[in-house]
């Protein structure tokens, strides 16, 4: 059976390219991001039945649960924690501490929370994690 790989942030950029690479390799993809772009939708047409697109925020437990629930009885072979934000960013001397906290909330604590929720499913098959 083809492996199933969950990737966060496949609407554009590196995540979109990674999703297409994985699909071309014959694996199934669950893609979790807030926006469903035409480029992401095009993957459904190019690889029918091989990608499930979940519209959601990887920092929200209910959206993580939706993505994991879409597995049904399938196992989870890998997670690619690609999604992150790079903004707002500015000089350390002037950037408000709350802006730094906001970035850490998403890029660090958001990712750790995602992992805590996904680990039980990932461990069923000794799945891999890419961060
Ligand atoms: N490009 C580079 O040169 C570079 C260098 C070093 C590291 N990186 C890292 O590599 C990763 C991808 O980079 P990129 O350039 O492809 O970034 P990008 O073009 O900004 O794409 C980010 C992706 O993450 C998704 N995303 C952001 N916040 C999200 C959230 N809360 N929930 C769900 N999805 C979310 C975005 O989708 P939505 O907005 O639709 O949710 C988008 O698909 C990032 O982690 C970045 O920090 C990139």
Confidence (pLDDT) at 84: 95
Check if the beta carbon of residue 117 is closer than 8 Å to that of residue 66: no
Confidence (pLDDT) at 9: 98
Coil, helix or strand at residue 59: coil
Distance 85 CA to ligand 1 centre (A): 6
Dig out the tokens for 54 from the structure. Answer: 């979940």
Confidence (pLDDT) at 73: 85
Confidence (pLDDT) at 95: 94
Atom of ligand 1 nearest to the CA of 32: 33
Distance 87 CA to ligand 1 centre (A): 10
Confidence (pLDDT) at 18: 98
Ligand 1, atom 45: closest residue by C-alpha = 84
8-state DSSP, 112: H
Helices (H), 25-110: 38-46, 61-69, 97-104
Check if the beta carbon of residue 33 is closer than 8 Å to that of residue 52: no
Distance 13 CA to ligand 1 centre (A): 7
Atom of ligand 1 nearest to the CA of 13: 16
All domains of the chain, ordered by start, with CATH? 4-130 (3.40.50.720)
What whole-number distance in Å separates Cα of residue 32 and Cα of residue 36? 9
What are the backbone angles phi and psi of residue 120, rounded to the nearest 5°? -60, -45
Distance 127 CA to ligand 1 centre (A): 23
Q: Which single residue is written with the structure tokens 């997670």?
A: 79
Residues with CB under 6 A from ligand 1: 8-15, 32-35, 57-59, 82-86, 106
pLDDT averaged per 10 residues, the chain (length 131): 95 98 98 98 97 97 96 92 90 94 95 96 93 90
Confidence (pLDDT) at 98: 94
């Amino acid at each position: 059976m083809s492996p199933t790989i969950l990737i966060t942030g496949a609407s554009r950029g590196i995540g979109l390219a990674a999703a297409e690479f994985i699909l071309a390799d014959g694996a199934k993809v669950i893609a979790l991001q807030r926006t469903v772009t035409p480029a992401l939708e095009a993957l459904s047409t190019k690889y029918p039945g091989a990608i499930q697109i979940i519209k959601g925020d990887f920092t929200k437990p209910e959206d993580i649960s939706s993505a994991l629930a879409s597995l049904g009885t399938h196992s989870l072979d890998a997670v690619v924690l690609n999604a992150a934000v790079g903004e707002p960013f500015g000089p350390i001397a002037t950037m408000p501490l709350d802006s730094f906290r906001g970035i850490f909330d998403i890029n660090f604590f958001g990712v750790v929370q995602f992992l805590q929720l996904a680990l039980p499913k990932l461990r069923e098959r000794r799945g891999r994690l890419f961060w």
